[in-house]
Amino acid sequence: MKPYLTNSSSFYLKKCFMILFISTTMATPLLPLEILPLEGRLSFEEISHAARDFGNRYQFHPLAVLHPKSVPDIAKTIKHVWKMGQSSDLTVAARGCGHSLQGQSQAHQGIVIDMGSIRVHHPIQVVRNGGVQPYVDVSGGELWINILHETLKHGLTPKSWTDYLHLSVGGTLSNAGVSGQAFRHGPQISNVHQLQVVTGKGEVVNCSKNQNAELFHSVLGGLGQFGIITRARISLEPAPNKVKWIRVLYSDFDTFVREQEQLIAAKETFDYIEGFVIINRTGLLNNWRTSFNPQDPVQASQFSSDGKTLYCLEMAKYFNHEEADLAEQETKLLLSQLSYISSTLFIAEVSYIDFLDRVHVSEIKLRSKGLWEVPHPWLNLLIPKSSIHRFAGQVFGNILKDTSNGPILIYPVNKSRRDNRTSVVIPEEDIFYLVAFLSSAVPSSTGSDGLDHILSQNKRILDFCESGRLGVKQYLPHYSTQEEWKEHFGPRWEIFKQRKSTYDPLAILAPGHRIFQKSIPFS
């Protein structure tokens, strides 16, 4: 018996057939996020860690956390969000160690990519390159401390560092990566040969100075706005064994900065040079004795700071065991040209790895006391040489004259060591100073060590820089409005915006910086 079909049921079957035909001849429709074909996994429940960072002030909970096993996992996820278009509010942030300060590695109701997950599946590769300059290939989620350990096995080391090594490669290269070696080798972004990047369209692109050069320079110091660094090729040099680690004090700021500039300009000089401001710290030299030996113990024991603001010059000379005598002679010669307070010369001799990983020792101590995971309202500034004396007079002599809530770094850097094609914004002068206020706030305190007081001090410092027209730029910048970002970038804003429209036109990436909004990315 033949089936009986009404006109309406016949029409329904034809319609179903047409839908099936169209769906098989068109591109595959978007799958739900939950069932993307990934080697790794998307987690929708274990996400609370991705809503915190080292700054410990902002908590923006994501919708999901991606734990990738491969670069294609990252590319597929971003391409999925890209194809959803502006009808979706989903954004994507890469998170290395979560060491950002103000939510930059977070994505409110978006997707956070755990870059530490991918490094497990991509081993560090050291290449000697047949007599040509050696390099190391690493995952963007790899930690600098792991790179150091691996390259030292080959007698090699990266040239430029940050003071703290338990940070990801992608994180520091997205900012700049500076430390006391930057005057000689430039920041970390000046020592990169090649990158692999996943753009805001989900495209995987290899880039260098000679291949896809605009993307290469955009991503370096680009605050994660143009692509996620999934692999980097970093320059290496022969590694030393030992370090002479030296600290001296100055009471006169003019002498302190003049001799720092003298040292970074000299052909024969130290391998690392940084400075510190020390405000109202008693017993300072006694604290140093735990790690350093005073050159003159009797004089050192008689030294008194008298509540003065002092300036510490910290230097390091690298050498190998067989060069110990030569390193001693060179160190003495360099120190003889300086005008520090003679009784405050302290010297330690340590291994190269112990010197570079010195901040981690402090971290362990602070963690043991429950003082590591507190708010860190840090303020990092780049100050032109021509403004440094005015800045110091007002900030160290007035705003912070009584106390500070953490280390204050101050040291000069050469502009000539930087590539102005990268996205990093720096002052226009040949020499500028990094001044970093690395404050820690005591939770629930309403006094001078509380968060509100430190934020108020930071605002006073920024207001003075603006009103005094000092030409200051923020390092690790953070602003609330696009107008403030435009002012930060100045004449480079249009280039930055054009690069964004090329590589991340929907403003999917790094929403925590609050530079672009996904719905209106280029207003």
Whole-angstrom Cα Rg for the chain:
26
Query: Would you call 83 exposed, middle or buried from its count of C-beta atoms within 10 A (0-12, 13-18, 19+)?
Result: middle
CATH topology of domain 119-239: 3.30.465
For 242-474, the fitting CATH number among 1.10.357.10, 3.40.462.10, 3.40.50.1820, 3.90.120.10 is: 3.40.462.10
Global pTM? 0.91
Active site annotation includes 99: yes
Sign of CA dihedral 383, 385, 387, 389: positive
Cα–Cα distance measured from residue 407 to residue 222, given in angstroms and rounded to the nearest whole number: 27
Per-residue pLDDT 10s for the chain (523 aa) are 434 344 444 434 433 433 333 333 334 456 788 889 999 999 999 899 999 999 999 999 999 999 999 999 999 999 999 999 988 999 999 999 999 999 999 999 999 999 999 998 899 999 997 767 999 999 999 999 999 999 999 999 999 999 999 999 999 999 999 999 999 999 999 999 999 999 999 999 999 999 999 999 999 999 999 999 999 999 999 999 999 999 999 999 999 999 999 999 999 999 999 999 998 777 788 889 888 999 989 888 888 877 789 999 999 999 999 999 999 999 999 999 999 999 999 999 999 999 999 999 999 998 998 889 999 999 999 999 999 999 999 999 999 977 778 899 999 999 887 888 999 999 999 999 999 999 999 988 888 889 999 999 999 999 999 999 999 999 999 999 999 999 999 999 999 999 999 999 999 999 999 999 986 545 4
Instruction: List the structure tokens of 179.
Output: 């430390």
Active site annotation includes 488: no
CA atoms within 13 A on the CB side of 315: 23
Give strand pairing partners of 273: 315
Query: What pLDDT does residue 384 have?
Result: 98
Catalytic, out of 53, 67, 80, 99: 99
Cα–Cα distance measured from residue 119 to residue 116, given in angstroms and rounded to the nearest whole number: 5
Per the listing, tokens 């002679």 go with: 329
Cα–Cα distance measured from residue 383 to residue 392, given in angstroms and rounded to the nearest whole number: 10
User: What count of other Cβ atoms lies within 10 Å of the Cβ of residue 304?
Assistant: 8
Catalytic, out of 89, 150, 163, 419: 163
Helices (H), 85-186: 115-119, 144-152, 169-173, 182-185
Catalytic, out of 73, 259, 261, 274: 274
Q: Are the folds of 119-239 and 242-474 the same?
A: no
Helices and strands of the chain, counted as H and E runs = 17, 19
Q: How many residues does the chain have?
A: 523
Cα–Cα distance measured from residue 275 to residue 313, given in angstroms and rounded to the nearest whole number: 5
Domain extents in the chain: 119-239, 242-474
